[in-house]
Amino acid sequence: MSESTQSRTKRPSLFGAVGKGAQEVAPEAPPAVTAPKEETPPATTRASPRGRQDRQDKRQIAGFFSPECARQLRMLAAEEDTTVQELLKEGLNMMFASHGKPPIA
């Protein structure tokens, strides 16, 4: 072995920490200094939600289908110059109507 590899110290294993107290595995370090917490007034307005605005108050519906089905759906969307989501929306509304439910998709 070279000198540089012999002088290195091996870090403790994270797997060795399972079932042991953190004090036994963690190397000794000086206590962390934390800054005093500043009191912040409560926000009067709600922070803007993450994600696209057109997806607010919506839920994703998913399923597993064959690759051929997915390919055919994408091809139909391209042929109709629309999106897969619009085709799925149309299909769900047709299914709702056939079951006597309002088309709400």
Does the pLDDT at position 25 exceed 80? no
Task: Identify the residue with better confidence: 21 or 105.
Answer: 105
Q: pLDDT averaged over the chain?
A: 80
The predicted-structure confidence for 54-88, as pLDDT tens digits, reads as follows 888 999 999 999 999 999 999 999 999 999 999 99
Integer Cα distance of 88 and 67 in angstroms? 16
Picking from 92, 90, 94, 83, the residue whose alpha carbon sits closest to that of residue 63 is: 92
- pTM summary value: 0.51
Integer Cα distance of 36 and 46 in angstroms? 26
